Structure 1
Amino acid sequence: MLTFFVIFQKTTGRPSPMPSADAPKDIINKLKSIFNVGEGIMVYNTGVASEELEDDEIVCAERRAGKSYCKEVENYIEATRLDKIDPEQFAKFQEYFKNDLEQTQMVATRMDVGDSKTKVIYPEGAESEDSKWLLVVQHEQLKQGVLVEECENVDSASEENSTLPLEDISKCKQNFTYRKLVVLVNGEMKEEMVKLPSNCECSSS
């Protein structure tokens, strides 16, 4: 029997060394650096990963605030590499690289809404119709200026109406529209409908 045991050990390789007495403690310490470890070494995650909502790597302050566009995308230059794109692509979509000047003049003639702000933005990122985030083409000399109207305080009472009775206080709702812009997908320019603020609708409660 002893001879069989020795032969068996030789044919199956060297046995693994026994773990040290401190090994379980080391494992627990490593887990504690990542997770909270409860009684009985039950492991559970204590929060949402910081990049869970930005898994497509389009990160900006506006997106974190729940808006549908990004004014400035972190690492935009490295992500787009617009300097490497064939100039013919820019020429193909030349009609898009302009500001909404005519619409700006039209808005200027409207009655101002105290709870909203109208402005031209140059979004570097925006949310598509199928809720995917896309990089919008904004070259140093070729930009897509889009006119938007945003509520200053969505679903909150207007400051100038704060002295009115509750039933007469206006509340504001942000409306959106889908606008076709030139975006970058896998290094190629293409047209895509993206979600942008259109107007602020205020009404009394």
Structure 2
Amino acid sequence: MKFILCIFLVGLQMINIVNGRPHSKSSETEADIPENLKKIGAVNNKTRTRILTHSEGYTDYSDQEVVFPDSYEMIFEPVPRIDGSPKCADGSTFCETFDTYPYYHLKDILKKNEAYKDLFGKDEEPSEITNRLGEDEDMFVCRSFERTIYPKVGKNKSNKWKFIINQGDSDGYIQGVRVETCRSQGSACDIIGDLPNGYVTACKQKYVYRRMLSISDNGRPFPDTFLLPSACCCAYKRDIEFLRRFGSRKTPIK
């Protein structure tokens, strides 16, 4: 009986010891959790912001200006504008010299595009000058002179003044045009004898349109049509002043 009572007391003591200990948590403490499991738990318990990063070697072009190949030269060196008829024209339709001619701009473009070279050259000169006494002793009623011009600006078909590419002999990019101009435009023709009453003559400058290589608004070579002198001709017309003075006279009635 005493033995049973001793066992009972020992068991009761053990129960008290167990109940007196602090209760352990049902899960492991944070210190006991492996690092890889901590990361998994953090992902499961918290919404994380995902940050996309650029791969190695990536270049951000979002803040850079978009530049097209055709507009590069315009940004590099803008082509000057020609406002109205320049002073160098002096009543003509072209100028062979111009202060703001974009020589270096065109030199850079033409150097990179050798194909343009086939578009340049000059008109062939005649074997003899036809506006002076020739072997047949021809006489012309209007005095004129012929020469080859190398215009750098000219008036195009739309009456706008544009640049004409003429870089010079050293560069090899020239456009030479043979022209004939009146020595005394508007003066009377050298006609032998008298004209019929009521008519007058005058030397007039004739023009033709020539296709030449010009410069577009963005500074690139561009074909255009220009008005250039071609010949000096004699024209006649009725003398309005003569008709005013004598045409209204009536024959008196006898």
Q: Tell me the TM-score range normalised by the shorter chain.
A: 0.5 to 0.7
Partner of 1:150: 181
Residue of 192, 195, 199 corresponding to 2:227: 195
Distance 1:86-1:71 versus aligned 2 partners, 3 A rule: closer
Q: Tell me the SS of whatever aligns to 2:188.
A: coil
Alpha-carbon shift at residue 139 of structure 1 (Å): 1.1
Partner of 1:178: 209
Distance, in Å, in 2 between the alignment partners of 1:179 and 1:88 is 26
Distance, in Å, in 2 between the alignment partners of 1:84 and 1:136 is 16
Residue of 119, 123, 129 corresponding to 1:108: 129
Alpha-carbon shift at residue 164 of structure 1 (Å): 5.7
Partner of 1:33: none
Distance, in Å, in 1 between the alignment partners of 2:139 and 2:163 is 32
Alpha-carbon shift at residue 202 of structure 1 (Å): 1.2
Q: Tell me the SS of whatever aligns to 2:118.
A: helix
Q: Tell me the SS of whatever aligns to 2:228.
A: strand
Alpha-carbon shift at residue 92 of structure 1 (Å): 2.8
State the AA in 2 paired with 1:55.
D
Residue of 81, 86, 91 corresponding to 1:59: 86
Q: How does 1:29-40 map to 2 (within 5 A)?
A: none
Partner of 2:100: 75
Distance, in Å, in 2 between the alignment partners of 1:130 and 1:106 is 35
Q: Are the aligned partners of 1:172 and 1:202 in contact in 2 as well (CA < 8 Å)? A: yes
Asked whether 1:136 is paired with 2:164, we answer yes
CA deviation vs aligned residue, 1:32-76 (integer Å, no higher than 9, x gap): xxxxxxxxxxxxxxxxxxxxxx526x73422xx221111111222
Distance, in Å, in 2 between the alignment partners of 1:107 and 1:134 is 33
Q: Tell me the SS of whatever aligns to 1:145.
A: strand
Distance 1:97-1:61 versus aligned 2 partners, 3 A rule: same
In the alignment, structure 2 segments of 5+ residues that lack a partner are 1-81, 132-137, 238-254
Partner of 1:46: none
CA deviation vs aligned residue, 1:87-116 (integer Å, no higher than 9, x gap): 243x33323321101xx2167357574521
Distance 1:86-1:72 versus aligned 2 partners, 3 A rule: closer
Asked whether 1:85 is paired with 2:116, we answer no
Alpha-carbon shift at residue 151 of structure 1 (Å): 1.1
TM-score relative to the length of structure 2:
0.48
Structure 1 or 2: more strand by fraction: 1
Distance 1:71-1:166 versus aligned 2 partners, 3 A rule: farther
In the alignment, structure 1 segments of 5+ residues that lack a partner are 1-53
Partner of 1:97: 120
Count of residues in Structure 1 that have an aligned counterpart in Structure 2: 143
Q: Which moved more, 1:172-181 or 1:111-120?
A: 111-120
Sequence identity of aligned pairs in percent? 25
Q: Tell me the SS of whatever aligns to 1:156.
A: coil
Q: Are the aligned partners of 1:60 and 1:73 in contact in 2 as well (CA < 8 Å)? A: no
Q: Are the aligned partners of 2:122 and 2:175 in contact in 1 as well (CA < 8 Å)? A: yes
TM-score relative to the length of structure 1:
0.59
